[in-house]
Amino acid sequence: MTTAMGSYEWRFDSGRLCLDLVATGEPAPRGFEEQPRTDGAGLLGRWLTGSGLVPPGTPLTGVDTNWVQRFAELRDCVGQLVRAQIDGRYAAVALERVNAIAADAPPGIRAVREPGGALVRALSAEPECGALLAVVARDTVDLLTDPDARARLRQCEGDSCRRVYLDTSRGRRRRWCSSEVCGNRERVARHRRRAAVARA
């Protein structure tokens, strides 16, 4: 699912929940924390559902500017950690913060029947910010402590794109966060360069 934010869309194609959160700040225009109050909370609510962190139809009446600030803080810490990992650096303060957030309990879940009879996932109680943050922080810990997953972390090679993604391609040769977005931009740019050379 994608949710429009001006000319930008939320995308959920980075390969991990925590990397999808990092992507909400990349590229500009603005992340949910930089929007007007109601817009920021609404965008975060749509991201929570679109990412699968909460099941569709979950009431998100508690999402407010405090939630927005806390998710933006976690996003920045996760971004520092994964980029430090790619660059072979340490990000001790960010790691300490992610570990602290991961220590909270994630939300309880249960199976409920839809009107048609199928079982679907639901939360056991109204979602709490700390519990949802814990899910993302635990996903970060899982990613960074899994040697195979860690080795697949990549920074997009697209011009002006800073997205980080998990390279799950067979030969580990993926260059862009999305072939349809950054890959397509690169192909169009190459075509224009060739056409300009041909005209010259």
- What was the pLDDT predicted at 1? 30
Question: CA–CA separation, 176 vs 189, rounded Å?
Answer: 14
* 105, two tokens: 């309990």
Please give the pLDDT value at position 185.
65
Cβ burial, residue 63 (10 Å; 0-12/13-18/19+): buried
- Specify the pTM: 0.82
* Bridge partners, 155 (sequence order): 164
Cα–Cα distance measured from residue 88 to residue 11, given in angstroms and rounded to the nearest whole number: 27
| Block mean pLDDT (10 aa), the chain, length 200 | 39 90 72 61 93 93 94 96 94 97 96 93 95 98 96 84 86 68 63 64
pLDDT given at position 39: 74
What is the C-alpha R_g of the chain?
Answer: 19
pLDDT of residue 159: 75
* CA-CA-CA-CA dihedral for 51, 57, 2, 173, to nearest 10: 30
| H, E, C per residue of 129-147 | HHHHHHHHHHHHHHHHCCH
Question: Taking the chain, what is the end-to-end CA distance rounded to the nearest angstrom?
Answer: 44
